[in-house]
């Protein structure tokens, strides 16, 4: 089939890759450049941690395995998926209750978790100087992190090798009927395809609306902790961080180039203030303070990025056909780093006509009766 994928973020590229591997004639249409959206500024913790309901947990757990399988299948010698394990630390007095609840949640799903004591925590993460009252942590051994820039480069190289072009053009509307789909571009031209896949991240909602479909994605014009995050990037450091660290005070994870990605829950509500250089500098200072407290030595910040999420209004992925004739398919999610490899494979499977039971709870049709908006008190340790 002749298929157009709209958007060259992590989802669009992964989907285009699987569709071209299936032998389709694939074109990617991207309005700016590959990885122009959330995909280049993501914390990219690969996890199914505290994700509900069970069906959402399941796709995220499968998402972890799908990355590992794809990495092995492509055998390019470049690694983007690192199963480092994740340590979850609660510094507050609520710690016993937090750990008990998180263990209960994980065990109910058969998701690997175990309690580690203070000695083991120090052995697992020797670069960190834990406060005296931190008596341990939870270890999630199946989790890890994704070097998103490397994943993007690998996918683009694979697409180029297969002759798939990434065309710089803006999609403004899609019409579809029984025979196929027509894509209208901002330059006034139109192109016909057998199928169109919308993977335009946060912009998918507006494109759907212009086309008479419904893909409810949060509006990024009003920044809240649900839609935005202040994401820090350090300068290269020799701090030997070995796990993804998630806590009530900070989220920190390593990168392939010696930098660390950082989030600090305390400053997240400041996304409502916008992205002035003064604000980003203040947030960088808070982050540097947290890192110094964590590692017992200074770690320099390179920048703080005001980063918008592609956030489906009810907090769960939207994947499947959006039109009656089943010519237009969409894939939008805020756990896109975890889910990219899986959604690539399942989109290709569904466009072959084989419906995936895993995706049954995530169809666009669930919004037919209206949109239930997810809670605004979204916690960044759940991404
Ligand atoms: C701060 C932050 C932290 C995150 N942390 C995690 C995490 O820990 N774990 C995790 O799994 N996920 C995480 N995410 C989510 C994850 O990064 C996203 O779900 C993922 O990047 C979405 O990828 P995408 O391809 O759908 O969208 P995007 O990367 O936004 O790509 C969409 C692309 O479509 C293009 N486009 C838009 N409109 C059009 C148009 N009309 N025509 C043509 N092209 C168009 C854009 O230019 C863009 O390149 C995080 C996100 C943020 C912002």
User: The domain 86-141+228-308: what is its CATH number?
Assistant: 3.30.9.10
231 lines ligand 1 (CB under 6 A): yes
What fold characterizes domain 2-75+148-218+312-382? Answer: FAD/NAD(P)-binding domain (3.50.50)
| pLDDT score recorded for residue 369 | 81
Cα 89 from chain centre: 22
The domain limits of the chain are 2-75+148-218+312-382, 86-141+228-308
Separation of alpha carbons 194 and 75, rounded Å: 31
Which atom of ligand 1 lies closest to the CA of 10?
25
Mutating to test ligand 1, I would choose from 6, 15, 38 the residue with most ligand atoms within 8 A of its C-beta, which is 38
In the beta sheet, which residues pair with residue 305?
231
Average pLDDT estimate for 47-56: 96
Would you say 351 and 26 are in contact if contact means Cβ atoms under 8 Å apart? no
State the pLDDT at residue 371: 79
Tell me: pLDDT of 206 over 90. Answer: yes
Mean pLDDT check: name the lowest of 140-154, 221-235, 290-304, 344-358. 221-235
Compute the distance from residue 36 Cα to the ligand 1 centre, in Å.
Answer: 8
Ligand 1 near 7 CB (within 6 A): yes
Q: What is the pLDDT of residue 133?
A: 84
- pLDDT band at residue 341 using 50, 70 and 90 as cut-offs: very high
Separation between Cα atoms, residue 88 and residue 287, nearest integer Å? 18
Higher pLDDT, 371 or 364: 364
Give the C-alpha separation, 347 to 6, whole Å.
Answer: 14
Give the count of beta carbons closer than 10 Å to the beta carbon of residue 166. Answer: 19
Does ligand 1 lie within 6 Å of residue 203's CB atom?
Answer: yes
- pLDDT tens digit string along 119-163? 999 999 999 999 888 999 999 999 999 999 999 999 999 999 999
pLDDT reported for residue 132: 83
Domain 86-141+228-308 in the same topology as domain 2-75+148-218+312-382: no
- Residue in 11, 39, 47, 382 to alter for ligand 1 test, most ligand atoms within 8 A of Cβ: 39
Tokens linked to 50: 């505290």
Q: Which of 145-149, 226-230, 298-302, 347-351 has the lowest mean pLDDT?
A: 226-230
Average pLDDT estimate for 18-25: 98
Q: Which atom of ligand 1 is nearest to the CA of 11?
A: 25
Please indicate whether residue 8, judged by its CB atom, sits closer than 6 Å to ligand 1.
yes
Name the helix (H) or strand (E) containing 231: strand 228-234
**What is the whole-number distance in angstroms between the Cα of residue 364 and the centre of ligand 1?**
18
For residue 63, how many other CB atoms are within 10 A of its CB? Answer: 23
- Chain mean pLDDT for the chain: 95
| DSSP character at residue 308 | E
How is residue 256 annotated by DSSP?
A: T
pLDDT of residue 261: 98
CA neighbor of 26 nearest in space, from 11, 44, 42, 5: 5
Burial degree of 320 (CB within 10 A; 0-12, 13-18, 19+): buried
The CA 8 to ligand 1 mean position distance, Å, reads 9
Cα 260 from Cα 341, distance rounded (Å): 23
Residue given tokens 């998103």 in the structure block: 148
pLDDT-derived band at 376 (thresholds 50, 70, 90) equals low
Looking at residue 382, its pLDDT comes to 67
Could you give the CA distance from residue 22 to residue 39 in angstroms, rounded to a whole number? 24
Provide the token pair at 222. 């009003």
pLDDT of residue 174: 98
Cα 310 to middle of ligand 1, angstroms: 6
């Amino acid at each position: 089939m002749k298929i157009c994928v709209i958007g060259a973020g992590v989802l669009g590229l992964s989907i285009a890759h699987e569709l071209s591997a299936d032998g389709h004639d694939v074109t990617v249409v991207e309005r700016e450049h590959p990885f122009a959206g959330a995909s280049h500024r993501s914390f990219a913790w690969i996890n199914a941690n505290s994700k509900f309901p069970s069906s959402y947990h399941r796709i995220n757990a499968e998402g972890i395995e799908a990355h590992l399988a794809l990495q092995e299948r492509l055998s390019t010698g470049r690694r983007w998926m690192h199963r480092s394990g994740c340590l979850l630390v609660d510094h507050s007095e609520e710690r016993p209750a937090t750990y008990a609840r998180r263990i209960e949640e994980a065990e109910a799903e058969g998701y690997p978790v175990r309690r580690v004591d203070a000695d083991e925590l120090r052995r697992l993460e020797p670069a960190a100087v834990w406060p005296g009252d931190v008596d341990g942590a939870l270890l999630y051994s199946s989790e890890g992190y994704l070097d998103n820039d490397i994943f993007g480069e690998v996918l683009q190289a694979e697409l180029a090798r297969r002759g798939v072009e990434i065309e710089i053009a803006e999609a403004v509307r899609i019409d579809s009927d029984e025979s196929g789909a027509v894509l209208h571009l901002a330059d006034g031209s139109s192109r016909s395809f057998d199928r169109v896949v919308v993977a335009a991240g946060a912009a998918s909602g507006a494109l759907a609306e212009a086309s008479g479909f419904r893909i409810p994605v949060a509006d990024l014009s009003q920044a809240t902790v649900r839609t935005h995050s202040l994401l820090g990037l350090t300068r290269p450091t020799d701090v030997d961080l070995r796990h993804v660290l998630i806590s009530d005070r900070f989220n920190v994870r390593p990168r392939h180039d010696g930098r660390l990605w950082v989030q600090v829950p305390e400053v997240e509500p400041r996304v409502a203030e916008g992205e002035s250089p003064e604000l980003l500098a203040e947030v960088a200072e808070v982050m540097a303070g947290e890192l110094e407290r964590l590692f017992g030595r200074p770690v320099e910040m390179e920048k703080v990025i005001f980063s918008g999420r592609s956030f489906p209004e009810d907090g769960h992925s939207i994947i499947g056909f959006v039109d009656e004739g089943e010519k237009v398919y969409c894939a939008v999610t805020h756990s896109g780093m975890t889910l990219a490899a899986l959604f690539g494979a399942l989109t290709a499977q569904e466009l072959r006509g084989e419906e995936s039971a895993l995706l049954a709870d995530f169809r666009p049709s669930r919004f037919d009766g209206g949109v239930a908006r997810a809670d605004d008190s979204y916690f960044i340790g759940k991404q």
